[in-house]
Structure 1
């Protein structure tokens, strides 16, 4: 039996959130507030602040496109290969350890030697490690041909803030680690997904509900290390840069770990709502590549339009 690795628990839950949310590149880019691209973005920010990924999903795409995306989710589930037995075993082992009655104590016992080893290895080498990470991540962002110049600038600002925040003494602090482990354990219990088969079988909207639970847990883990995502969302500001016809450019500014960060989103009006033009294009491309997926064939009903509520 493969030994459970506590450090993989956070990564696994993070991957689960990313898989469930299926977000676009921007964290707050979509909504359905009639005639108001700024309100659309504000509504998206509010949904993330509330950990309401069902609402986030409904605000993410025009109703007809959302229904087709939901149908594609269902079709891919039906066509998916069976769960790999080794993956299923590792997932079940991880969730069992996270939800055990003595989870926090057992996980900290396993984590302690790893923290001690990292503490010893990082001593005196952290500036070099930071510089190396900065060069590598910066090069990766610049080499990404799918990112626009503005997106690359935003990515570079995020990396700069994260590298300035990431210090060895932060991650080797035992009390912080205990709070993070406790948050992971509580989140795993609340998810109630003990097997990988159950997680993969979730329809799209129930998956979003579970994703909201996981997102709240990850925010709590981050707060243990003085990384308050809700504070960034609370202080986010949205302003209209330009507007012409059914297109608008919106700027989002927010503080990240004490550093100001901003990016712009191109918004597109569809019907009564405003949505990220990039998200619409990406979803339409994905659907076209997948082939026809009628919503009625998957038993997915088109969602009712969102009410115009930005907050």
Structure 2
């Protein structure tokens, strides 16, 4: 795996998971569903800031759908919520590359070969990837206008950060690789088979520690995702029965993000509509999430 791909995959994956999720709520919401509309964003993000992917998933979907997702995972039909991540199919490969016995040495050698004196080349690569990403999002028929705007704002912010970030700093890279390799080995999830054997909850529990390390590494490069979440502002823009729209504002890599998020209520709890649709598809359902409203 090329070191550029490895670093960009890690960056996109972690930032993608945490983007537009929210800040910790002042109320006692741990272990309960999102009872207020704004909690559909705030509650899952509280768990992300605590690096608890198991709780994040439980807060993101109704209980019946959660049970179906666990079954689909055990049968190898789904890897949701990992499927929420950009480049999610690269995750086992990335973990395997970082878990190799000599990963620190080989990846640092690859870094030196590919990045030494390559600031301009890397900058152009980031700009090219960003332009391609924006074009892809604009042409994606599966996205509505709200989702498209949200993804483009995030892509632009991350690309501007990447252009300025010290990604070619050898000393910083050496320290980052040491931390990421140790965290990857601790997961024991270097293949899709390992994910299946561990099961959804145990896999997410192990990946939670890796998430914490990856967020800390990104913060060292100037991308502080927890700080973004801490500064997030969520407001109810409109509500009609069991459907509502939230306005979500937060800083991402010094860029001001201002997006809308559609949510819906099931069994007295609120959930993000786009996340529910993807989770429902991952579970293999033909209809929307189960559970009385």
> How much has 1:200 moved relative to structure 2?
3.6
- Stretches of structure 2 lacking an aligned partner (at least 5 in a row): 24-28, 79-89, 288-293
Q: Structure 1 residues 11, 190: closer, same or farther in 2, change over 3 A?
A: farther
Q: Which residue of 1 aligns with 2:55?
A: 55
Matched, 1:94 2:97: yes
- Stretches of structure 1 lacking an aligned partner (at least 5 in a row): 79-86, 292-311
Residues 225-244 of structure 1: pairs in structure 2 closer than 5 A: 225-244=221-240
Residues 154-173 of structure 1: pairs in structure 2 closer than 5 A: 154-167=150-163, 170-173=166-169
Residues 32-181 of structure 1: pairs in structure 2 closer than 5 A: 33=33, 35-76=35-76, 94-97=97-100, 104=104, 107-116=107-116, 118-119=118-119, 121=121, 126=123, 132-167=128-163, 170-181=166-177
Q: Is the Cα–Cα contact under 8 Å of residues 9 and 184 in structure 1 kept in the other structure? A: no
Q: Which residue of 2 aligns with 1:192?
A: 188
> How much has 1:139 moved relative to structure 2?
1.2
Q: Which residue of 2 aligns with 1:273?
A: 269
Q: Structure 1 residues 240, 65: closer, same or farther in 2, change over 3 A?
A: same
Residues 206-285 of structure 1: pairs in structure 2 closer than 5 A: 206-285=202-281
> TM-score, normalising length from structure 2?
0.76
Q: Is the Cα–Cα contact under 8 Å of residues 77 and 201 in structure 1 kept in the other structure? A: no
- Return the alpha-carbon distance in structure 2 between the equivalents of residues 268 and 93 of structure 1: 38
Q: Which residue of 2 aligns with 1:296?
A: none
1:174-210 Cα shifts (integer Å, max 9, x gaps): 2221221122122123323466643342211101112
> How much has 1:25 moved relative to structure 2?
9.0
> TM-score, normalising length from structure 1?
0.72
Higher relative contact order, structure no. (Cα contacts within 8 Å, ≥ 6 residues apart): 1
Q: Which residue of 1 aligns with 2:81?
A: none
Q: CA RMSD for the aligned pairs? A: 3.6
